[in-house]
Amino acid sequence: MTDINGKIAFVSGGASGIGLAMAQAFAKRGARVAIADIDFDLARRQAALIDGAAAIELDVTSEDSWQMAAETTRRALGPVSILCNNAGVGGGSGKLEEYDPEIWRWVYSVNVHALLYSARTFVPDMKASGTRCHIVNTASMVALVPTPNSIAYVASKFATLGISFGMRNEFEGFDIGVSVLCPGMTATRIVQTTGRLRPDNRNNALTDERMKTMHDILQTGMRPESVGEMVARAVEGDEFYVLPSPEWKPMVEGHFSDILSGFREPAQPGHSDDLTSFLKAWNKTEMFGYRIPDAP
Ligand SMILES: NC(=O)c1ccc[n+]([C@@H]2O[C@H](COP(=O)([O-])OP(=O)(O)OC[C@H]3O[C@@H](n4cnc5c(N)ncnc54)[C@H](O)[C@@H]3O)[C@@H](O)[C@H]2O)c1
């Protein structure tokens, strides 16, 4: 259980959409929030509307920017104990074989590499703090169901989920909770954000037909405020999976049963990996309550 009241929460991509909604939900519970965003003007305007909030300039693709943002936050508000790695951009650069490598690297640096910089910036202090801490990573439902939209986006969100599993393993024994947020369609301005920030600036916002369609579909999605509330409850209740849109569950079930259908007889008859020893090498005897089969 994490009591949000009185905590300092840092939300990347906090000036808009889901990040802003998380910041509002934390503030409602008595936290002081750092609204950290590359769009500093918007961050300032949003922070002015939230009691005790501070606007922080942050480009999540730069480790130096993370370090400066952490220092500014510490001076303005104090030590961070709730960290939301939420800033993210869409992909959308066509077929894999034609994908622009510059856009690919950009999507990965915002959606994936930023999590490493963020951890290097905040986790050592969290571990040393002696205070209950919590990290929320925003992945997506597309991390659980491989949808046919941008490969770079889908792959980057699979990576976010993978990093979240890694954190969950690593933080066992520390007083740091981890949640991974996998929203379905949410009515935000992510399509415009992506068009505005993408390095080539070719595919600008809503002029591209596919992006306009995507924007229109997302506007039929859930209100970000509902997602933000669910995240705050997950932090309070120390829940790992935050899945606001249960209508996706049959697709997730289908996907996992597809994976399971790939298991056949062992390629080497009679062989069975010694999973107990494998886990023991990392001082583990179980994984999140999963049953580990007995060693052969
Ligand atoms: N909207 C959806 O349907 C949906 C669904 C699943 C997951 N998500 C994820 O939710 C997260 C938030 O997106 P959103 O939908 O609220 O979009 P949004 O565009 O409303 O908000 C994203 C914020 O991130 C900021 N940002 C982008 N690049 C940045 C950078 N380099 N450094 C710092 N800030 C940066 C933007 O300025 C913006 O304020 C993203 O990770 C996105 O992938 C969104």
Distance CA(167)–CA(178), nearest Å, equals 7
CB contact burial 75-90 (16+ within 10 A = b; e otherwise): eebebbbbbbbbbbbb
Phi and psi torsions of 227, nearest 5° = -65, -45
Reading the chain (296 residues) residue by residue, the pLDDT tens digits are: 789 999 999 999 999 999 999 999 999 999 999 999 999 999 999 999 999 999 999 999 999 999 999 999 999 999 999 999 999 999 877 889 999 999 999 999 999 999 999 999 999 999 999 999 999 999 999 999 989 888 999 999 999 999 999 999 999 889 999 999 999 999 999 999 998 999 876 555 455 787 888 899 999 999 999 999 999 999 999 999 999 999 999 999 999 999 999 999 999 999 999 988 888 888 888 777 777 776 55
pLDDT value at position 113? 98
Ligand 1 centroid – CA 108 distance (Å): 13
Considering only CA atoms, which residue is closest to atom 24 of ligand 1? 13
pLDDT value of position 88 = 98
Q: Considering only CA atoms, which residue is closest to atom 25 of ligand 1?
A: 13
Q: What is the pLDDT of residue 293?
A: 72
CA dihedral sign of residues 234, 55, 18, 159: negative
Maximum C-alpha span of the chain: 66
pLDDT at 295: 56
Q: Which pLDDT does position 92 carry in this prediction?
A: 76
- pTM to 2 decimals? 0.96
| pLDDT computed for residue 288 by the predictor | 77
User: Which tokens in the block code for residue 96?
Assistant: 């894999």
* CB distance 175 to 131 below 8 Å: yes
Six token digits for residue 270: 């009679």
Which residue, 171, 208, 174, is CA-closest to 191? 208
Alpha carbon 288 to chain centroid distance? 20
Atom index in ligand 1 nearest the CA of residue 139 equals: 7
22 contacts: CB under 8 Å, gap ≥ 6: 9, 11, 14, 84, 86, 136, 227, 228, 231, 232
How many other C-beta atoms can be found within 10 angstroms of the C-beta atom of residue 136? 23
Residues annotated catalytic, as ranges: 153
Residues in the chain: 296
pLDDT of residue 283: 84
Q: Which domains does the chain have, with CATH numbers?
A: 8-247+254-262 (3.40.50.720), 264-296 (no CATH)
Two structure tokens written together for 243: 């899945």
The whole-angstrom separation of Cα 60 and Cα 15 is 13
Those residues with Cβ within 8 angstroms of residue 219's Cβ, 6 or more apart along the chain or in another chain: 187
The pick from 188, 191, 227 for probing ligand 1's pocket by mutation, whose C-beta has the most ligand atoms within 8 angstroms, reads 188
Any residues with Cβ below 6 Å from ligand 1, and which? 12-13, 15-19, 37-39, 58-61, 86-89, 110, 138, 140, 183, 185-186, 188-190, 193, 197, 218, 221
